[in-house]
Each structure stands twice: as C-alpha cells, then as structure tokens.
Structure 1
Amino acid sequence: MKKLNVLSTVALASFCFSATAAMDPYVENTLISVCKAGMSNSVVRFNDTMKDYRINEQRIFPKLVCNGETFYNFALSHGANRTAERISRYLPGEVIIKDLSMNLSDELIYVTFDE
C-alpha cells in the first residue's frame, strides 16, 4: 500500500511540474510577432499581425510583457506612439471613489460671472 501511495505521489508531482513548463513554441512565436509588430509603429502591420494570428486584444494586452515591459510601455520606449495609442483602450483603468458629502474642502462651490 505504501508503494502505491509513493508511486501515485511521484506521478502526481511529475504531472504538476510538467504543467508549469515553458509555453508552447507556436504561442511564444506568435507573441514575439505581436511584440515586433507593435515595435514597428505601423498600425497596418500591427492590425495585419493581430488578424493573422486571431488574437483577442482584450485578453492579451493587459497581460502581455515584451522584454520586461508591458506591451504599452514597450511600444512607447521604441517610439511606436501610434501602436501604443491603438492599444491604450485595452489597458486596465483606474477608479477612484470619492465621497463628496464627507469631504469638507469640497463644500464650497466657486462661480465666476460678469455683472
């Protein structure tokens, strides 16, 4: 019985470690192509690459990291402003909730007008 437990533990452990292995070479090459297209500052080339590989922009761009930088920052650092502007809508936003009734400095409302 002990041998069965040990064997099943070893088999399960090897299965778990293989799940954390490197990504599929096709997926990796696809993402490298996206990074290179984003670096080019050509929106036409970027759109063609996205269509060729059928990439879901909403899923990829908040998570894609090219050479240690987010895709947006990677494009900006390589001078690809048009590409960065194209994907900026897919980046996660920032929400700030401010309770106006509890903030004393916002109680006064200033209005300027001509008499």
Structure 2
Amino acid sequence: MSQIMKNIGIPSVKGPTAKCDDRYCPYHGEIRVRGIILEGKLIKYRANKMGVFERTYLYYNHKFKRYERRRSRIHVHIPPCLNLKEGDNVIIAESRPISKSVSFVVVGKVGE
C-alpha cells in the first residue's frame, strides 16, 4: 500500500489530511475514479466502510406539465481517512465495481 496521496483529477475536491491503509481509497489505495460525479447527502453509515448516499432531483412530468421531486439512493464505499458521519453532504465518484452493489466511492466533503 502506498501512503503517498494521489491526485484523483477532480479539482473542486481537496484531499484528506489523515492517512489510511484502505485499498479502495481513491487517495491512498489502488482504486481509480471515472465517469459520473454526484453531490448529495450521506444518510446511512452502515457496514464496514460502506454507506448509503441519497440525491434529490427534479423530474418533469409531461402529463401534468409540472416538475416532481424524486430521489435516488446509491451504495458507496467510504474511506476511513475522510472522517465522515451520517448527515454530511458529500461528493461521490464512479469507480469500478467494488462489490455486488457498490460502484461509487466518496471523494470528499462539501464545504471543506
């Protein structure tokens, strides 16, 4: 494991100050980020380094000619060097599949 902090290629996100030995950390491990970048809230911090991310968005309903609010929940991997808790606003990025339901990793906290 490398303890050197890598540049993940997202300029709006600052890296963590702590170090970790997580192999799925985008800063200290071997996982790479690609594709979709989303912003939302971490609503559940569950199993070992895994959580549930929720984002809300507007969807236009053509039949009633108005917008409706929808939400989607995504399982994410949470590196221990970020020191997050439930209710934090975070930025996630797509990665290769880590497990059956996890293909996103948290890359930073909004507002820091």
Q: Which has the higher strand share?
A: 2
User: Whose radius of gyration is greater, 1 or 2?
Assistant: 1
Greater relative contact order (Cα < 8 A, sep 6+): 2
Q: Normalization by structure 2: what TM-score?
A: 0.17
Q: Kindly indicate which of the two structures has a greater share of residues assigned to helix.
A: 1
